[in-house]
Amino acid sequence: MAKETKKLVQAITSQEENFAQWYTDICLKAELVEYSSMKGFIILRPYGQAIWENIQKNLDARFKATGHENVAMPVLIPESLLRKEGELVEGFAPEAAWVTMGGSEELEERLAVRPTSETMFCDHWSRVLHSYRELPMKYNQWCSVIRWEKTTRPFLRSREFWWQEGHTIHETAADRKAGRDLLDMAGANLTVDLPEKQVAAEARREYQQLEEKLKKSGIPMDAYCKSCRTTPEGLHASFRKNAEKRLRSVLAAKAISEAEGIVAHTDEVNAEYRRLAAQHNAPEAEIRKVLSPDAVAAALVAQKVEAFLLANAQVTSVTDPAPRTAAQTSAKEV
């Protein structure tokens, strides 16, 4: 006698009958979600919310360990700002939800309920980013977005869904990197005994800064080392190497600036103080307490030296297999 297949849970559609409905039934029966009175929107019930919170907790620690910081952007985006993105807005336009009334008054401009936040991040950076020295800025946002989907499915896609947005901005200008690389090369070629106490102090300061940052984020040092595949001793060695490299670059910049007569004038130093005060939204007097005029001038001179090296150095690619000419052989290289 053939065995009869008995359906164990009557309220759940079988996969063979309707796979999509089976998935929805599972989510509802497990009390992960419930459909709201607003079509296409779901309610995360305690079990469903707990899953999301565990995902956030795990990923948030990983993001912070790589230097990302959490921010919160507005949920409404002016249409004029969204349209600056061109292709982006065209892709989201059919799914955008728009606010046209503020209270009982019609708004002068439509406001999109956040479908994504690229435009808000870029608009924010255009006002707060003043120098390449502030880079990279690595931001993350945990939020929900609205997209007017025609077909919805719990967790996979509903008209409001929860996610994280990672938006970062980095220094990628080739000339900036090339100038810095040339200065590093000049420092590496210096024949000089580095002051041991200063190198050790710099390495220790960098390690302590990392410790404080991880402590604020609630991340144990051993967990951070494990994620980076290193050890505390390995970090110390890395920080020491970085300190030696920075000090050599400083000494090289000093030697080149003296030889070439490269200086930072008083008006340039004062302008840099004003820029830093605006950047940190702090009184200029407070910035001057933290940074001496000599320190600011040294930073400006280093930038000028990098530009000088880039403008005057002849660089030959080490990956170019072509034979060198006599002229190339005699050329001065950095």
Give the pLDDT mean for 169-188.
65
Token pair listed for 141: 């946002």
* Residues 140 and 69 sit within 8 Å (Cβ to Cβ): yes
Distances in Å between the Cα of 110 and the Cα atoms of 78, 93, 124, 148 are 6, 12, 20, 16
Question: In terms of DSSP H, where are the helices of 163-292?
Answer: 174-188, 196-217, 221-227, 232-260, 266-279, 284-290
pLDDT one-digit tens code per residue, 250-288: 888 888 888 888 888 999 899 888 888 877 778 888 888
Residue 74 pLDDT greater than 70, yes or no: yes
Residue 46 or 132, more confident: 46
Confidence of residue 88 (pLDDT cuts 50, 70, 90): low
pTM above 0.75, yes or no: no
Positive or negative, the CA dihedral 288, 292, 295, 296 is positive
Give the pLDDT mean for 23-46.
93
- Nearest residue to 309 (alpha-carbon basis) of 178, 162, 133, 167: 178
46-169 and 174-316: same fold? no
- Given this model, what pLDDT does residue 70 score? 95
Domain 46-169 CATH superfamily? Bira Bifunctional Protein; Domain 2 (3.30.930.10)
Residue 46 or 184, more confident: 46
Confidence of residue 64 (pLDDT cuts 50, 70, 90): confident
Domain range annotation of the chain: 46-169, 174-316
The label of the residue with tokens 């503020």 reads 102
* Residues 219 and 65 sit within 8 Å (Cβ to Cβ): yes
> Can you tell me the distance from the alpha carbon of 302 to that of 255, in angstroms, rounded to the nearest whole number?
11
Token pair listed for 316: 């030959």
pLDDT one-digit tens code per residue, 207-231: 888 888 888 778 888 888 887 788 8
Helix or strand run (H / E) with residue 174: helix 174-188
> Domain 174-316 - what CATH class?
mainly alpha
Average pLDDT of the residues of the chain: 80
Give the pLDDT mean for 228-238.
86
Give the pLDDT mean for 39-60.
93
